[in-house]
Structure 1
Amino acid sequence: MWVSKITEEDLSNEIIDKLLFEGIVDTGENIDCIIVLGSTKASKYRVPVAVKAYNSGRANKIILCGGALKKFPDEESTEAEHMYKRVLELGVPEKNIILENKSQSTVENILCALVELQRAFWLNRVKKVLLVTSTYHMRRSLAIARYLFPIHIDIVPGPADDNNTNRDTWMNTPKGRERAKREALNIVGCVKNGVIPDFEI
């Protein structure tokens, strides 16, 4: 089934599972840089995945994306600034953290990360990056990145499970079902609006 043909009525558990989760696996290979997309829960779920990859020696730089100003339990700050503090707490040296503090959406996360990659490495020297975001958000993020990044850069998914929207549990709670369905419709909308190319599931 082509994603552009999917309607809300088509969104069975099987279709949502294929659309959001099928084939989303971190290969574990070394990369040039780790890119973490921002959200209000990114410090809790995404940052540990990124730091684990960093500590395993897969890369020595982490880009934290997200300029949206949010109210967190401990402060009001941008998503990237909030992640930055957590990454430091987990032992990553400041010199190896790149703060991308302007983007306001997933598309802008990707575009602004490209600028930071250019400044830190030169894009022609970057061969592979690890893209870290919530598992249910990965398909759309990966598709956007692969569409917007130069063709020579390989993008490896770094899925981060949360409490409500894991592949095996999203259908068990109203919050999980609502979030998964909304993300599935976001993907369909991105295809129909030309943000990402159409694809089959």
Structure 2
Amino acid sequence: MKLTIFRKILFVVIIMFLILNAGNFLTVGEKPLKSDVIIVLGGSSIPKADYSIKLYNEGNSNMLLFSGGNTDNKYGEKEAEVMEKEAIYFNIPRENIMLEDKSISTYENAMFTKKILIEHGFKSAIIVTSNYHMRRSRLVFNKTFKNTGIKLTFCSVEDTEFNPKWWFTKYHSINIVLSEYAKIVGYFLKGRLV
């Protein structure tokens, strides 16, 4: 009887631990390493563009590659174009900016940017995306870039509306976490993750 109660309590504790840490699991990131190019994924594009400009200005790379073809933003333009305008506004030379404006998913971000990197002979890249999107991005990019010899570093942008420790306190954050886990499972079932 005592063993059964202990198992039930242990089960509840484990479930609570997993739920409380679900947001933290999604957020992974590394310190930037000097690279040939900084790849910036679309979606909430301006904060990502601004962070990539900061990395550029700190000397982490002299080339920006903005990736994203979705137009479902307040500008009505492709994500890559919105980020390009932001970079030009902050005095990044046009010749130091490349666009990939066909992708509409993380998988396509990885596939299309891989082709560009290989065509240009780039050997290293910093991947920039939202903190909550980083786990899935990292899994997808690592699988897609496997055996290319291209070194990837993953640097996440903090999302002011998503706190990984307190994700369960806001509807927006709950939606993000559930959506990311559903997408991770979907990508896994399609064989798109490491």
TM range (shorter): 0.7 to 0.9
Post-superposition Cα deviations, 1:72-102, rounded to whole Å, max 9, x if no partner, equal 1xx3211111111111112211110001111
Indicate the residue corresponding to 2:39 in structure 1.
Answer: 35
CA deviation after TM superposition for structure 1 residue 67, in Å: 1.3
SS, match of residue 34 in structure 1: strand
Counterpart amino acid of 2:20?
N
Aligned equivalent of 2:167: 170
How far apart are 1:104 and its partner, in Å?
A: 1.5
Asked if 1 retains the 8 angstrom alpha-carbon contact of 2:78 and 2:101, the reply is yes
Aligned to 2:137: 141
- Percent of pairs with identical residues: 29
Where 1:187 maps in the other structure, the secondary structure is helix
Matches of residues 74-89 of structure 1 in structure 2 within 5 Å?
75-89=75-89
Pick aligned residue for 1:54 from 53, 56, 63? 56
Give distance in 2, aligned partners of 1:145 and 1:136. 15
User: For structure 1, which runs of at least 5 residues remain unmatched after alignment?
Assistant: 1-8
CA contact (8 A) 2:126 2:154 kept: yes
* Corresponding residue for residue 17 of structure 1: 23
Structure 2 distance, partners of 1:97, 1:55, is 13
Which TM-score applies when normalising by structure 2? Answer: 0.84
Amino acid paired to 1:180: V
Asked whether 1:184 is paired with 2:184, we answer no
- Could you say which structure has the larger radius of gyration? 2
| Unaligned stretches of 5+ residues in structure 2 | 1-14
Q: Over the residues paired in the alignment, what is the CA RMSD in angstroms?
A: 1.9
The Cα of 1:178 is off from its aligned counterpart by: 1.6
Q: Which amino acid aligns with 2:25?
A: L
**TM-score, with length taken from structure 1:** 0.81
CA distance in 1, matches of 2:45, 2:138: 17
- Please tell me whether the aligned partners of residues 98 and 116 of structure 1 are also in contact (alpha carbons under 8 angstroms): no
Equivalent pairs, count: 178
Alpha-carbon separation, structure 1, partners of 2:92 and 2:30: 21
